[in-house]
Chains A and B, each alone.
Chain A
Amino acid sequence: MVLAFLAMGLSLQAQSMEDALKPVTRTYAFTNATIIPQPGQQVTGATIVVKDGLIQAMGTNVSVPANAKVVDADSMFIYAGFIDGLSNAGVPRPEREQNGPSRGRRPDGVNPGDPPRELAGVTPEKQVRGELKHDEKSVEDLRELGFTAAHVVPRGRMLPGKGSIILLAGESGEDMLLAEGVSQFVQFSSAPGVFPATVIGVMAKFTELYKQAEQMQMHMEAYAKNPKGMDRPERNEALEALVPVVNGELPVFFMAPDVKSIYRVMRMQDDLGFDVVMTGVKEAWHVVDELDGKNIPVIVSLELPDPPKEKKKKEGEEEAMDEEMKMLQQRASERMTEFESQAATLAKAGIAFGFSTMEASAKDIRENLRRMIKNGLTEEQALASLTTNPANMLGLSNSMGTLEEGKMGNLVVTDGNYFEEGSNVRFVMADGHLFEYEAKKAAAKGDPNASAKIGGSWAYSVNVPGQTAEGTLKLTQEDGEITGEISNSQSPETTDIEDAVLEGNKLTFLAPIAMGGQSITLEFSIVINGDEMEGTVSVGEFGTFDVEGYREGTPE
């Protein structure tokens, strides 16, 4: 993930635990803020005091302790820290084994009909504890968005393991851990070239394991009562791990993004009778009545389909669109609206859901929330889905989800309404640890009526937290065609820019860079005023950073 930044002569350094403000004191006071203690409530001119990781006092008439570090939060908003309903935050991706089998191929020497259970994906006993890393980028990304706790599950295939509750701050992986074994995670993920290699294999295997766990439970009970004359129960870690599930003591968080998966999970749940939480749903608008009727809790995915890219029309080109194309476009756009209004549809039906960041790219999450709100989700419902709902679903409402005295010091401080575009997360407090963030510059808008001569050699710099990258951008403008190349001060290599478009004084272009077999496209959006430039560069999933620069030389 560092690759993209290497190309720009940067190393990746988002704010990590080491950069957190070193606690001279563990007492903090945010003063004169607009506090949203829970969805639907708001107190202005209020102060909140967090001491030793717990909320000590909150209100308009709170005295600030003398030893408190005071943050003047005038005109800022303070919300309870968000809770991620399910993700792999803090759990590193397994590194692909050297010379190991490529994707979709089974390893040598394995009987595909009867593979080791780890390869089959049957590890229901697994916990994240041993794997958690406090400095994973996923932890930092989520925290920067305002998440302070997460329900995390191991990575894997059909039965990856059990869920844990972690706080998104800590000195070590273990330090983040709040509770273990709070759920069983299941997904329709098949194994590479071994049983179960298909969704029907996964479903058959799950049913078989479930019934075997029921048998084991029965056997263990009978044996505990009177072992005389009876074979002792077989020990089997995987089946033993499923016993709490068949006993209805542990909810199954079943990944069911699409409508077919949701129906499949509902049918399996009908047949077998486990407690289910429909997780990561993206197409639940088809099944609102069924979910409501069966009282199935829901966790909505924060991922949405990508909005269509605006096709830039060239001057004077009138795109002739036939009826069929129009109809296809109409259907795609109707479908998009269904995805975007899923959350609102569920909320209108009275279903209280949480959100999952699984599969969602951190850089899209706030925009996706705004798209859901634009399509009918109220801000209050959105906030509840980030705070109180997941707290209730995960049994955490005594310690988090709202801002109350005695609850954990989990909060997010913004310089505007969190759900409005342009607002920035300025502070996040997770488990009493304070993290500070810079305000992002609003993307330069540009003036479509202005004109700009862009040819020449430009020196640019890119600001990434804690570091600055510099380089040169050479641009040529001939007969409306813009070409150019970009380089950075750390490397002699240059990259040709692509798709450069100048509208008024706003220049956009792409710079595809290939590093270590991976290709990443840098997307620049720059406004040019005379010999100065200012704008942003988006680096895939890593985020958007400010760019500025000036003209070093003009073309001959």
Chain B
Amino acid sequence: MKYSILFALLLFFGVSLQAQTQTGSMLIKNGTVHTVTNGTLENTDILVVDGKIQEIGSNLRAPRGAEEIDATGMHVMPGIIDAHSHIAIDAVNEATNPVTAEVWVGDALDPLDVSIYRALAGGVTASHSMHGSANAIGGECETIKHRYGTYNPNDLRMVGAPRTIKFALGENPMRVHGEGRGIQPATRMGVEQVIRRAFAEAKMYLEAKQKYETARQNGDNTVMPPTYNKRMETLSAILEGDIIIHCHSYRADEIYMLMQVCKDFGVEKLCFQHTNEGFKVAPELAEFGAGASVFADWWAYKFEVYYSTAYNAAILTENGVTTSINSDSGELIRHLYHEAAKTQRYGGLTDEQALALITINPAKQLGIDDRVGSLEEGKDADIAIFNADPLSIYAIPMKTIVDGVVYFDREEDPADMRLDVNPEEVMPAFFQDIQDHKHENCMQDTYMTFEELFRG
């Protein structure tokens, strides 16, 4: 009764209820279950009810009508989470200003991007769709679940996931704005100043808003609020602790620099992306509580990325830094389990540590570890099933499940999974598509010629 009144009220006030995303129920029987947070359980069942993990144990019964998946001989792990990608968005860089905190890639989600399905085929159930690295402060990002098959961009959103924003240090913002346009930042020092100034302006904006609020509370109706500024709104939300910074970075000195800037402005939620020289400042990162999301072994694609090591993830992990391994690529995203396994060769991480790099740790960095990233009762049923140990080079993803719904099944993998078919073009532009997801597309949409990019 109470609920129906509430519901009627919501309707009456025209509150649009969030579109219900599809959830499912199922029983995954008799698998080797890598919980990540609670060890590996042999011959174990997972009961999923309405998109949530209800029970993990043995001899569980499927609810009536629910699918039963026989996982005998299979390995069951939490759905893989990619903390850095640019799939499923129609715009990456608003490269027109060193600070564009007002834009949000979540405005332009692309549910028709077939890369989502390719990621599912690699066991990846959630990813962090990020703004690019052209600007010192880029735009807000979006944490999505890979609910492929919908035409509604809103269905991809992981509703309730914290807000995140892209920052970028070093050569990319220097090149676009310094070299490209002759303005700040032309140097690494300039990048720091751009960020400091943005924070300082946001502080003034917050103060002006507070002044307005106070005046209103005191009955003074002559004071008007500061002119609404979307950039300042976002930046002040960072200062207020509502947004996690994810910062594109390579060099240790810059990584250290941004931690100092954040300390000065009381910003605590910080995760570094790429972080190739993170191993040099691992204790400092751990002390700050900053995360590091790295490549397993990808470097030397520009000058600032030469000093790198495949031991980076292991060193960071052993120093107590919350570390993840990401893709930044529509190709790498399909085999992040390989990337995680490399840390066993380079650094000797345990199975659990290695799997954490692509599950619970990225979940922590995105602030969604209470819902995903491990197989625990009460968490979302985002699950990847492999035919062998996922850290084995022979492992093949068999089924990928989001919210208890099977979105990828190797046994039923149609040849053509495109959602967006061009009726005028029988032969799809596969090659163009591959081009679209080549490496370094975090510089996509920047207005530069090759000469400008490589000048000097």
From the candidates A106, A194, A332, name the one contacting B421 in the complex (CB within 8 A).
Answer: A332
Knowing A212-B227, A260-B90, A329-B426, the reply to whether A228 touches B104 (Cβ < 8 A) is no
CA distance A332 to B418 in the complex (A): 11
Contact A203 B421 (CB under 8 A): no
Q: In the bound complex, do residue A219 and residue B224 qualify as a contact, i.e. CB atoms below 8 Å apart?
A: yes
**Measured between alpha carbons, how far is A214 from B224 in the docked complex, in Å?**
12
Is A306 among interface residues, defined by CB-CB distance under 8 A?
yes
In the bound complex, residues from chain A placing their C-beta under 8 Å from that of B108 are 198-200, 203, 260, 264
* Size class of the B contact interface (CB-based, 8 Å): 35 or more
Interface positions of A from 264 to 319, Cβ below 8 Å from B: 264, 267, 270, 286-287, 305-306, 308
User: Does B97 contact A203, Cβ atoms closer than 8 Å?
Assistant: no
Q: Mark B418-455, 1 if CB is under 8 A from A, else 0.
A: 10011111111000000000000000010100000000
Taken together as a complex, chains A and B put the C-alpha atoms of A208 and B233 apart, in Å, by 10
Interface positions, chain B 88-120, Cβ under 8 Å from A, are: 90-98, 100, 102-105, 107-112
Q: Which residue of B lies closest to A227 (CB)?
A: B222
The reply to whether B100 and A195 contact each other, CB–CB distance below 8 Å, is yes
Q: Are B426 and A332 in contact (CB under 8 A)?
A: yes
Query: Could you say which of B105, B110, B230, B422 contacts A335, with CB atoms under 8 Å apart?
Result: B422
Q: Cβ of A259: which chain B residues have Cβ within 8 Å of it?
A: 151
Binary interface encoding of chain A residues 208-231 relative to chain B, with 1 for a CB under 8 A from any of its CBs, else 0: 100110110001001000001111
Residue A45 interfacial (CB < 8 Å): no
Q: Which residues of B contact A195 (CB under 8 A)?
A: 94, 96-97, 100
Main secondary structure of the interface of A (DSSP, over half): helix
A21 CB-CB contact with B under 8 Å? no
Inter-chain contact A204/B103, CB cutoff 8 Å? yes
Given known pairs A105-B447, A193-B447, A328-B427, the reply for A215 and B225 (CB within 8 Å) is: yes
Q: Report whether A194 and B96 are in contact in the complex, using a CB–CB cutoff of 8 Å.
A: yes
State whether the Cβ of A418 lies closer than 8 Å to any Cβ in chain B: no
> 8 Å CB contacts to B: which residues of A98-144?
104-106, 112-114
Cβ of B16 within 8 Å of any chain A Cβ, yes or no, is yes
Closest residue of A by beta carbon distance from B102: A204
- A332 and B423 contacting across the interface, CB-CB below 8 Å: yes
**CB atoms of B426 and A328 under 8 A apart:** yes
- A339: Cβ under 8 A from any B Cβ: yes
A365 close to chain B: CB less than 8 A? no
Instruction: Tell me what chain B mostly uses at the interface: helix, strand, loop, or mixed.
Output: loop
Question: How near does chain A come to B124, taking the closest CB pair, in angstroms?
Answer: 22
B260 interface hit (Cβ, 8 Å): no
Find out whether the CB atom of B230 lies under 8 angstroms from the CB atom of A207. Answer: yes
Q: Say yes or no: B94 contacts A104, CB within 8 Å.
A: no
In the bound complex, do residue B95 and residue A197 qualify as a contact, i.e. CB atoms below 8 Å apart? yes
- Taking a contact as CB atoms under 8 Å apart, the answer to whether B421 and A200 are in contact is no
**Of all chain A residues, which has the CB nearest B109?**
A260
B424 touching A198, Cβ below 8 Å: no
Tell me if A204 and B447 are in contact (CB < 8 A): no
Q: Are A331's CB and B416's CB within 8 A?
A: yes
- Contact between B447 and A198, CB atoms less than 8 A apart: no
CA distance A214 to B445 in the complex (A): 32
Chain B residues positioned under 8 Å from A106 (CB to CB): 447
CA distance A229 to B16 in the complex (A): 40
- B230 pairs with A260, CB closer than 8 A: no
Q: Are B229 and A200 within 8 A (Cβ)?
A: no
Give 1 or 0 for each of A67-84: 1 = CB within 8 Å of chain B CB. 000000000000000000
Within 8 Å by CB of A208, from B139, B229, B421, lies B229
In contact, B97 and A230 (Cβ under 8 angstroms)? no
The residues of B that contact A234 with a CB separation of less than 8 Å are: 227
Closest A residue to B16 by beta carbon equals: A270
Q: Output the least CB separation between B3 and chain A (Å).
A: 21
Residue numbers in A under 8 Å from B427 (CB-CB): 325, 328
Q: Which one of A113, A114, A328 contacts B416 once the chains associate, using CB atoms below 8 Å?
A: A328
Across the A-B interface, give the 3 residue pairs with the lowest CB-CB distance, nearest first: A113-B97, A198-B91, A336-B423
Could you name 10 residue pairs across A and B whose Cβ atoms are closer than 8 Å? Answer: A194-B96, A195-B100, A196-B94, A197-B95, A198-B93, A208-B229, A211-B230, A260-B109, A287-B151, A332-B423
- Which residues of B are at the interface with A, using a C-beta cutoff of 8 A? 16, 90-98, 100, 102-105, 107-112, 131, 139, 151-154, 181, 221-222, 224-225, 227-230, 415-416, 418, 421-428, 445, 447
Using A231-B224, A263-B152 as known contacts, list a sample of 6 further A-B pairs with CB atoms less than 8 Å apart, ordered by residue number in A. A106-B447, A194-B96, A212-B228, A264-B107, A331-B421, A332-B424
The chain A residues found within 8 Å of chain B, CB to CB, are 104-106, 112-114, 193-201, 203-205, 207-208, 211-212, 214-215, 219, 222, 228-231, 234, 259-260, 263-264, 267, 270, 286-287, 305-306, 308, 324-325, 327-329, 331-336, 338-339
